[in-house]
């Protein structure tokens, strides 16, 4: 048993014991004993030992016991998550090795120097890295923010007890705090009663910055600077911000009628308010600390006649930050122009901080300059005056509809009926024309009015507050030009990146030709002003074709785009729309970045961070720092040591795998007439629509699987542990390759090609979480007899997928190479199994009784959904 297992077991045992005390206090000893019988029954079932049958205990629960039992196991799983997260950052003594995340950058720099990269070029490359993590506007975070704060406080107490010189009184005090926090969490309702608004989502994103990233970013940069200096003797320049943040929260209106132009404006102002407030806290502290008198003439010239010149300069900045915060707050209620003292340019924030920094160094007080002042400077460079850059996203069909109404009104015909050439001719001509397209008295219909209002908000907002305008379901060059024309019509005079998002298999195959067409259009280059950004969609391509074909299409699309932009001498920025799960392109970021096609990560990388993964990766400062380190090192390595090009034979085999994979996937998902009904009966998909996950509806429109968003599509299969979207198609593709005698080449691809190795590793990870027996349990309880054979078939395919992956990896057990991961899964199963059984029973009761949303039965059902999501740490 490894040290991490021992520590984890101790923490889980302690937290479980304290939760047990809380449950006993409310429900009594007999109820707690019942919970323990259920837990022991789950352990016995997993071990295959005889004991009291778990299903019998659960079936005997009375209606008023169902909710507290579900809540108990839900809380157990959340506490296990806290313990597991803390294991990643717990204090180590000098004998224990540093974690991989702390060593990844120093080790890489040593390797790069050995490979022949000189010190100056390395320092320059790190300082020029352009990594942007985009917090998305449709989080699948099922845990309420008030509970997240309590869970963070529990993690802090685990850290407090991780000191060996604690007295008995101190240990007792920590345990009392833990007991109180766990009781607070237990007596707090897990499930939101209402869906969050887009503004609520944005505030949740800002809270992650306030409570975690605000500390993590300067710490990460400080350590990166130390690693760079140790390796090269050089330092990171003050203006370096290799990692920045953007957001879709309040900007993503794709299929979400709740995101409107006023919402976008409100979120932009809230971001300015929050940024000013956070800097004010820093400046107050610095003004208290920097009481020195000696200063350079440059600083004295700004401070004036003052005995404490640093304080004088910082107090001037403080007044402007207060004015900025006050204006942003008042403008939320009544729009008004910003007064002159409101900060508008990031240089006005940076200049006084840099002046203090340089003066302290010049006067022999460098040790003071390198403290909190440097941290504040790093934050100012990274977050700026606007905290995050807000992306706007809208569906291409909405722009087409708006353009149709406009051309119809102008008597030019119906835009939607024109072919691509006619659209491009019209759009190119109007983009070059200086006169407005529309008269001031034009009164559009509601949908077009909203599109135009959004464009006006984009035009009115400061350029530095906005990221990109993303067009979902883009498929043609005209989709990009239409947005550029709408923005021009709204009065946008500065350049803005307009980004096509290629999502389906067919669109990914067309991505290269579409971008090439754009780059060759007259006037397009002049409007580009920077890199050509292209977004690659993972979620919808996987839902459309399965992960085998989707992954290869994404890879090929990137290769084509790299080649086209190189030929056209245009920089390329690829934006990866990855989800939290394997079925949506998720997985370990470090490995995923290193598996991209050579040349696709050329110092630039943009990716979404989605749903509950934001909390798991960035919710605590130390864990956030680890993950930022991984991004920094992976993008640097992919830039300077790109992976090899795949061998021609590998491409041929990958083409075959993709072709077999998509056929097998669609044969089930599209061609089997029973599939949709089986999905709806065997999973809680219908009930998920009632779970207040985010501000977006679960469907884009009425219809079958194709109308479902990728999140509930994945979420439904995850709840039943069939995990179908992540593996379906691979079992047939890999088996067919083995039958053709291509096993040796598959082994070679896994050994030598990072793309293929990463896909198989992610496949193995999700298969380790899948569970045939749990999936069968749902079928037995919920599925009509005529649909049961389909369930048997799907579970057989899952077993085939497991067998073929084991054959490929040469292991006797999935994830055998990662005992820690297996231990985490094993620990969770003890608490997950009762929730799965309970959920299946509750689904059956709910559908039979048609339970109302506020009934205890429905509440218990939603608690099981949240608990399983927490236990598997993969929802959407």
In the block, tokens 């998509």 appear at 662
Going along 91-140, which residue ranges are E strands? 130-135
Contact 448, 256 (CB under 8 A): no
Report the alpha-carbon distance of residue 161 to residue 155 in Å, rounded. Answer: 10
Q: How far is CA 688 from CA 127, 143, 691, 717, in A?
A: 44, 14, 5, 11
Q: Which of 90, 138, 150, 399 is catalytic?
A: 138
In the block, tokens 């809270």 appear at 207
* Residues 6+ positions from 346 with CB-CB distance below 8 Å: 380, 381, 384, 385, 464
CB count within 10 Å of CB 89 equals 20
Report the alpha-carbon distance of residue 277 to residue 47 in Å, rounded. Answer: 54
* Residues 6+ positions from 717 with CB-CB distance below 8 Å: 583, 683, 723, 724, 725
For CA atoms 246, 250, 251, 256, the dihedral sign is positive
**Residue of 108, 265, 281, 74 lying closest to 182 (CA atoms):** 74
* Residues 6+ positions from 655 with CB-CB distance below 8 Å: 552
Catalytic, 223? Answer: no
Report the alpha-carbon distance of residue 696 to residue 676 in Å, rounded. Answer: 22
Report the alpha-carbon distance of residue 676 to residue 668 in Å, rounded. Answer: 10
Report the alpha-carbon distance of residue 547 to residue 756 in Å, rounded. Answer: 12
**Residue of 335, 447, 470, 491 lying closest to 390 (CA atoms):** 470
**SS3 state at 535:** strand
- Please give the helix or strand (H or E) that residue 576 lies within, else none: strand 572-577
Tokens of 220: 């990460």
For CA atoms 797, 803, 806, 812, the dihedral sign is positive
Tokens of 303: 């401070």
Tokens of 520: 């060759």
Contact 251, 267 (CB under 8 A): yes
The DSSP code for 130 is E
Report the alpha-carbon distance of residue 838 to residue 868 in Å, rounded. Answer: 11
Q: Which of 543, 576, 590, 836 is catalytic?
A: 543
Question: What is the signed CA dihedral for 275, 278, 284, 287, rounded to 10 degrees?
Answer: -60
* Residues 6+ positions from 844 with CB-CB distance below 8 Å: 781, 782
**SS3 state at 607:** strand
Report the alpha-carbon distance of residue 452 to residue 444 in Å, rounded. Answer: 9
Catalytic, 43? Answer: no
Q: Which residues are catalytic?
A: 138, 543
């Amino acid at each position: 048993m490894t040290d991490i297992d021992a520590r984890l077991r101790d923490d889980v045992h302690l937290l479980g014991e304290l939760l047990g005390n809380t449950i006993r206090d409310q429900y009594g000893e007999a109820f707690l004993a019942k919970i323990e019988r259920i837990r022991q029954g789950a352990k016995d079932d997993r071990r295959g030992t005889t004991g009291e049958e778990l299903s019998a205990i659960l079936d005997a629960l009375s209606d008023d016991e169902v909710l507290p039992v579900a809540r108990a196991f839900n809380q157990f799983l959340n506490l296990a998550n806290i313990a597991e997260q803390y294991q990643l950052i717990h204090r180590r003594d000098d004998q224990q090795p540093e974690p991989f995340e702390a060593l990844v950058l120093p080790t890489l720099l040593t390797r790069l120097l050995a490979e022949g990269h000189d010190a100056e070029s390395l320092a320059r490359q790190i300082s020029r890295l352009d990594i942007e993590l985009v917090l998305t506007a449709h989080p699948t975070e099922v845990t309420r923010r008030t509970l997240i704060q309590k869970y963070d406080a529990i993690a802090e107490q685990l850290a407090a007890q991780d000191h060996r010189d604690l007295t008995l009184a101190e240990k007792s005090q920590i345990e009392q705090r833990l007991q109180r926090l766990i009781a607070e969490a237990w007596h707090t309702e897990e499930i939101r009663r209402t869906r969050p608004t887009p503004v609520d989502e944005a505030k949740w994103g800002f809270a992650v910055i306030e409570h975690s990233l605000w500390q993590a970013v300067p710490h990460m940069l400080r350590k990166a600077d130390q690693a760079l200096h140790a390796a090269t003797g050089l330092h990171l320049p003050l203006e370096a911000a290799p990692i920045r943040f953007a957001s879709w929260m309040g900007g993503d209106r794709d299929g979400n009628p709740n995101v409107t132009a006023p919402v976008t404006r409100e979120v932009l102002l809230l971001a300015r308010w929050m940024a000013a407030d956070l800097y004010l806290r820093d400046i107050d502290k610095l003004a208290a600390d920097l009481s020195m008198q000696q200063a350079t003439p440059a600083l004295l010239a700004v401070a004036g006649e003052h005995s404490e010149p640093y304080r004088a300069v910082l107090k001037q900045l403080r007044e402007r930050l207060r004015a900025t915060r006050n204006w942003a707050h008042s403008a939320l209620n009544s729009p008004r122009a910003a007064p002159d003292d409101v900060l508008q340019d990031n240089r006005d924030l940076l200049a006084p901080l840099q002046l203090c920094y340089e003066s302290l160094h010049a006067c022999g007080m460098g040790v003071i300059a390198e403290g909190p002042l440097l941290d504040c400077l790093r934050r100012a460079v990274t977050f700026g005056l606007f905290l995050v850059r807000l992306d706007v996203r809208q569906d291409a069909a909405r722009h087409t509809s708006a353009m149709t109404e406009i051309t119809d009104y102008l008597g030019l015909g119906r835009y939607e009926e024109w072919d691509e050439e006619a659209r491009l001719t019209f759009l190119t001509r109007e983009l070059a024309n200086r006169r407005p397209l529309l008269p001031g008295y034009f009164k559009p219909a509601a949908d077009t009015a909203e599109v135009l209002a959004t464009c006006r908000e984009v035009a009115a907002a400061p350029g530095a507050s906005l990221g990109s305008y993303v067009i979902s379901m883009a498929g043609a060059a005209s989709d990009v030009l239409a947005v550029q024309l709408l923005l021009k019509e709204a009065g946008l005079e500065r350049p803005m990146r307009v980004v096509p998002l290629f999502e389906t298999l067919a669109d990914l195959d067309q991505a290269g030709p579409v971008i090439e067409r754009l780059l060759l259009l007259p006037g397009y280059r002049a409007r580009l002003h920077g890199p050509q950004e292209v977004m690659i969609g993972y979620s919808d391509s996987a839902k459309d074709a399965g992960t085998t074909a989707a992954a290869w299409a994404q890879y090929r699309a990137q290769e084509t785009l790299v080649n086209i932009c190189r030929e056209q001498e245009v920089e390329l920025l690829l934006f990866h729309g990855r989800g939290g799960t394997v079925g949506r392109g998720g997985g370990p970021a470090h490995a995923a970045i290193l598996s991209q096609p050579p040349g696709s990560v050329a110092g630039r990388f943009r990716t979404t961070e989605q749903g509950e993964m934001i909390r798991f990766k960035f919710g605590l400062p130390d864990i956030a720092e680890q993950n930022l380190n991984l991004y920094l090192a992976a993008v640097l390595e992919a830039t300077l040591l790109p992976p090899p090009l795949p061998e021609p034979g590998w491409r041929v085999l990958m083409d075959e795998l993709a072709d077999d994979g998509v056929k097998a996937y669609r044969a089930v998902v599209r061609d089997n007439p029973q599939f949709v009904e089986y999905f709806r009966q065997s999973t809680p998909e219908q009930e998920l629509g009632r779970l207040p996950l985010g501000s977006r509806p679960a469907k884009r429109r009425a219809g079958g699987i194709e109308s479902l968003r990728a999140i509930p599509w994945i979420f439904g299969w995850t709840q039943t542990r069939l995990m179908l979207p992540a593996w379906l198609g691979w079992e047939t593709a890999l088996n067919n390759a083995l039958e053709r005698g291509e096993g040796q080449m598959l082994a070679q691809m896994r050994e030598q090609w990072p793309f293929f190795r990463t896909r198989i590793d992610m496949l193995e990870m999700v298969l380790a979480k899948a569970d045939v027996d749990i999936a069968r349990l749902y079928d037995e309880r919920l599925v009509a007899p005529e649909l049961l054979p389909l369930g048997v078939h799907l579970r057989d395919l899952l077993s085939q997928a497991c067998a073929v992956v084991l054959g490929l990896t040469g292991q006797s057990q999935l994830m055998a190479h990662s005992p820690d991961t297996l231990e985490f899964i094993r620990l969770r199963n003890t608490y997950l199994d009762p929730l799965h059984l309970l959920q299946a029973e509750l689904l059956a009761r709910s559908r039979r009784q048609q339970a109302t949303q506020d009934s205890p039965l429905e509440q218990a059902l939603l608690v099981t959904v949240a608990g399983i999501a927490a236990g598997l740490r993969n929802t959407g």
